[in-house]
Chain A
Amino acid sequence: MFEDASRQWQSLLETGWSQWQQQLTQAMQGFGQKEPSWAAGVLKQAESAQRVWLSAMQTFANQATDFLERVKSPKDFPVAFAGYQEALSKQFTDAASKLHVNLKDHNALWEDFLSHYKAFQGMGNDFFESYKAPSQGFTAPNNPEEWMQSGIRFMQHLFDQAGGKTFDAPGLGMMRNYTHLVGQSMKAFREEKEAEQVYQKLVAKTWASVVAQMTKTVWERGQEGKPITSLRELSRVWAGVTDEVFMDVFKTDEYVQKQLNYLNASFCFRQTKRALNEVLLEAYDLPTLTQVDDLIERVYTLRKVVRAAERGRATAEKEVQLLKKQVSEQAEALAGIQAQLRLIQFQETGANGQVEPMVPPKKRTTRKPKSGLS
């Protein structure tokens, strides 16, 4: 009964989903130019998502059908399921391993490493011309001597272009440094690949758990008499199971550590690439990112100084305004007092009509110039 049901299901799934995908692909091709550009991007992602879904369902169908065929009665399920889980895990992690470059194969690794520097060659420079890939007949640089030789060849080439016509000798320190940096970058590249493989292996193992868990869910629904009866339902059950399994793994120390190792290794490799690029930029009298960052920092610091000065000036201006206001108020008060005094005096001396000043005139404070220049 299992066989019939699963064969029928798989066949329908393949037909139905391939039609779905075909339809979407055709629609994408017919998509006009009027739409906002990101809309096409969203649809492209939708198309990829359908493909991922189809592929996941096919894998699940194959794995689950084989397993469930072997379960003859419900009481056999627990034992059979444990073996199934284990087999899935091995199968998925093996498959993931095949997708990665063999870290022991220096040629493959070196070829892959060089591809990261093709961008420079694309810019019209042949910086890496002397670093040949194995496919170009170069021995994989798995020994320091090869690296030194290629480094020297590279630097001679670079020197001819950058300074050879002007100076008598290449910068020996720069040459050594460069060769050293290539070695460091290759090491960081290998470490990144290692960390990536460890991480991907765990992800593959998690996918195996998803398939196993989905099989179990489907089995249980069958036992409960609540079978999945539509593609939509199947899709939602699959999505629920997938994220639940991933969540459980994501929380583990093992996952967190492997993810961090992968991230850190990637950053370290990126730093070595930057260091290499900067040597080349300097050789061609081009500003490096480090130099640009230094300038940014200086501008930032100066801007802060200017802002602080502006704030200081604004505060001082406010204080001056306040003082001016106070002076003005005091002057007004003084004028009032003087007026009152005049009034009092007028009242006191009003008989003869003569007004004497109550306040003695201010002493002259301006100094006389010592010389006769004024």
Chain B
Amino acid sequence: MMGIQLDPATVMNEVNEVRQKINLGIGYLGNMKESEIKIGPTPYETVFQIDKVRLFKYAPTVSGKTTTPLLISYALVNRPTMVDLQEDRSLVKNLLDLGVTVYMIDWGYPSRADRCLTLEDYINGYIDACVDHIRDSHDLEKINLLGICQGGVMATCYTALHQDKIANLITMVMPVDFHIEPDEIGGLLNCWMKDANVDLMVDTLGNMPGDVMNFGYLLLKPYALGVQKYVEMVDVLDKPKALTNFMRMEKWIFDSPDQAGEAFRSFNKQFYVENKFIKGEVMIGEERVDLKNITIPVLNIYAEQDHLVPPKSTLALGKHIGSKDYTVQSFPVGHIGMYVSGKVQQSLPPTIVNWLKERT
């Protein structure tokens, strides 16, 4: 076959190389300690708790350079530790080093007993309680809010409803237009969920299992994420640091909490199926979310190669909010690359901090 010209010696070299890598890798893995793959290394204190939701306050590493604390609202999907994956890949640590007082909401692991929790509970209940706690602790009227992915959607809804408590809003890799057409970057998730029978799903399953969601995400790139990643894993077996990073990432990916049934139902019906976010028709409890109500400064950060939340979806925000102080910033990575890419971690935290300082 002319298109494939494998030389026997080359192939045998590759095979021998792999054999050596496997031997070394097994040795490294056999001696790997749980502490080495710990996720979320930055010290924190749980300063507030309501039901299973906890509010973490991270210990400042430098004396106060900024006065307004920043609250991070992560998605309900996967764990918020993605922003503090490891010491040299930690958005939280980098923000602390730049003098920001950081708080983060940990949504916990919803069980069957939490299946009735609604989006209203999350937004007007949990987020609001955390915001109030921080305001009271710092004796401030307003704080800064950073929402990531689905957590960005919730943070944006919160801001539209409670703008009197928020000074600046930062959104990262946040979907806004849920009915974009799929392109070469992504958009499949939107395409698949548009006609989904969400009621049937929730009525059958109660909560949406994290594993089911994970399977859906893997299916977006079935071969690359399901097979090729593990085929290529051989190449890091002889590199202890890279192997530890790989294992840590695996640990994070498959640590997926279930989604509270009613919140999942409401989120998917209102956003994915009916695309109400950009229509100003989302209802949180009895209140309508009108993005035009957001008039505070907004920084919208997106990943140029994001296959889960394509740039087209994120960029729709600018057309729909009322703010005249709107900034967009992108990075040449994918959805997760935003947190794990070394290059992005060098430039993303200063981007956020400088933007905030200009608005203090």
**Chain A residues with a Cβ under 8 A of chain B:** 1-2, 5-6, 8-9, 12-13, 16, 19-20, 23-24, 27, 30-32, 34-36, 38-39, 42-43, 45-46, 48-50, 52-53, 64-65, 68, 217-223, 227-232, 234-236, 239, 242-243, 246-247, 250-251, 256-257, 259-260, 263-264, 267-268, 270-271, 274, 289, 292-293, 296-297, 299-301
> In the complex, A95→B200 CA distance in Å?
32
> In the complex, A227→B1 CA distance in Å?
9
Report yes or no: A251 in contact with B19, Cβ–Cβ below 8 A: no
> In the complex, A34→B31 CA distance in Å?
7
Chain B residues with CB below 8 A from A68, complex form: 1
Report yes or no: A32 in contact with B11, Cβ–Cβ below 8 A: no
Indicate if B26 sits at the interface (CB-CB under 8 A). yes
Report yes or no: A227 in contact with B250, Cβ–Cβ below 8 A: no
Report yes or no: A20 in contact with B15, Cβ–Cβ below 8 A: yes
Q: Write the chain B residue with the least CB distance to A61.
A: B1
Chain A residues with CB below 8 A from B228, complex form: 49, 235-236, 239
Chain B residues with CB below 8 A from A242, complex form: 222-224
Indicate if B14 sits at the interface (CB-CB under 8 A). yes
Chain B residues with CB below 8 A from A270, complex form: 204-205
> In the complex, A150→B229 CA distance in Å?
50
> In the complex, A301→B25 CA distance in Å?
53
Chain B residues with CB below 8 A from A219, complex form: 2-3
Cβ contacts B1-39/A at 8 Å (1 or 0 each): 111111110111011001100110110011110100100
> In the complex, A33→B12 CA distance in Å?
32
Indicate if B112 sits at the interface (CB-CB under 8 A). yes
Chain B residues with CB below 8 A from A257, complex form: 195
Report yes or no: A268 in contact with B200, Cβ–Cβ below 8 A: yes
CB distance from B166 to the nearest CB of A (A): 21
> In the complex, A264→B19 CA distance in Å?
45
> In the complex, A222→B233 CA distance in Å?
29
> In the complex, A64→B200 CA distance in Å?
44
Chain B residues with CB below 8 A from A16, complex form: 11-12, 14-15
Q: Write the chain B residue with the least CB distance to A295.
A: B113
Q: Write the chain B residue with the least CB distance to A64.
A: B1
Report yes or no: A230 in contact with B14, Cβ–Cβ below 8 A: yes
Report yes or no: B113 in contact with A296, Cβ–Cβ below 8 A: yes
Report yes or no: B247 in contact with A39, Cβ–Cβ below 8 A: yes
Chain A residues with CB below 8 A from B196, complex form: 260, 263
Chain B residues with CB below 8 A from A24, complex form: 22
CB distance from B116 to the nearest CB of A (A): 4
Chain A residues with CB below 8 A from B250, complex form: 38, 42
Chain A residues with CB below 8 A from B22, complex form: 23-24, 27
Indicate if B357 sits at the interface (CB-CB under 8 A). no
Given known A-B contacts A23-B22, A36-B32, A268-B200, A229 and B223 have beta carbons under 8 A apart: no
> In the complex, A35→B251 CA distance in Å?
14
Report yes or no: A5 in contact with B231, Cβ–Cβ below 8 A: no
Q: Write the chain A residue with the least CB distance to B12.
A: A16
CB under 8 Å from chain A, chain B span 207-260: 220-224, 226-234, 247, 250-251, 254
CB distance from B186 to the nearest CB of A (A): 9
A296 contact from B4, B10, B115, B200, Cβ within 8 A: B115
Given contacts A2-B2, A23-B22, A228-B3, 5 further A-B contacts (CB under 8 A): A6-B4, A246-B223, A267-B205, A270-B204, A297-B116
Report yes or no: B251 in contact with A6, Cβ–Cβ below 8 A: no
Report yes or no: B5 in contact with A5, Cβ–Cβ below 8 A: yes
CB distance from A265 to the nearest CB of B (A): 10
Report yes or no: A45 in contact with B230, Cβ–Cβ below 8 A: yes
Q: Write the chain B residue with the least CB distance to A297.
A: B116
CB under 8 Å from chain A, chain B span 179-216: 182, 184, 188, 191-192, 194-197, 200-201, 203-206
Chain A residues with CB below 8 A from B194, complex form: 256
Report yes or no: B188 in contact with A19, Cβ–Cβ below 8 A: no
Majority SS at the chain B contact face: helix
Chain A residues with CB below 8 A from B32, complex form: 35-36, 39
Report yes or no: A38 in contact with B223, Cβ–Cβ below 8 A: no
Report yes or no: B6 in contact with A264, Cβ–Cβ below 8 A: no
15 A/B residue pairs, CB under 8 Å, sorted by A? A2-B1, A35-B32, A46-B233, A46-B234, A64-B1, A222-B3, A229-B5, A230-B10, A239-B227, A239-B231, A250-B191, A260-B196, A270-B205, A271-B204, A292-B112
CB distance from A4 to the nearest CB of B (A): 9
Report yes or no: B231 in contact with A50, Cβ–Cβ below 8 A: yes
> In the complex, A271→B113 CA distance in Å?
19
Scoring B1, B32, B201 by chain A CB atoms within 10 A of each residue's CB, the highest score goes to B1
Report yes or no: A247 in contact with B231, Cβ–Cβ below 8 A: no
Given known A-B contacts A31-B26, A293-B206, A243 and B223 have beta carbons under 8 A apart: yes
Report yes or no: B6 in contact with A229, Cβ–Cβ below 8 A: yes
> In the complex, A300→B111 CA distance in Å?
13
Report yes or no: A65 in contact with B1, Cβ–Cβ below 8 A: yes
Report yes or no: B116 in contact with A296, Cβ–Cβ below 8 A: yes
CB distance from A298 to the nearest CB of B (A): 10
> In the complex, A256→B205 CA distance in Å?
21
Chain A residues with CB below 8 A from B223, complex form: 239, 242-243, 246
Chain A residues with CB below 8 A from B229, complex form: 49
Report yes or no: B200 in contact with A264, Cβ–Cβ below 8 A: yes
Given known A-B contacts A16-B11, A297-B116, A49 and B231 have beta carbons under 8 A apart: yes
CB under 8 Å from chain A, chain B span 142-195: 182, 184, 188, 191-192, 194-195
B3 contact from A31, A50, A218, A230, Cβ within 8 A: A218
CB distance from A21 to the nearest CB of B (A): 10
CB distance from B289 to the nearest CB of A (A): 21
Report yes or no: A19 in contact with B19, Cβ–Cβ below 8 A: yes
Scoring B4, B7, B195, B203 by chain A CB atoms within 10 A of each residue's CB, the highest score goes to B4
CB distance from B133 to the nearest CB of A (A): 14
Chain B residues with CB below 8 A from A231, complex form: 6, 11, 14-15
> In the complex, A52→B8 CA distance in Å?
23
> In the complex, A42→B254 CA distance in Å?
11
Chain B residues with CB below 8 A from A267, complex form: 197, 200-201, 204-205
Report yes or no: A247 in contact with B115, Cβ–Cβ below 8 A: no
Given known A-B contacts A12-B11, A43-B29, A239-B223, A227 and B188 have beta carbons under 8 A apart: no
Chain A residues with CB below 8 A from B5, complex form: 5, 227-229
Q: Write the chain B residue with the least CB distance to A32.
A: B30
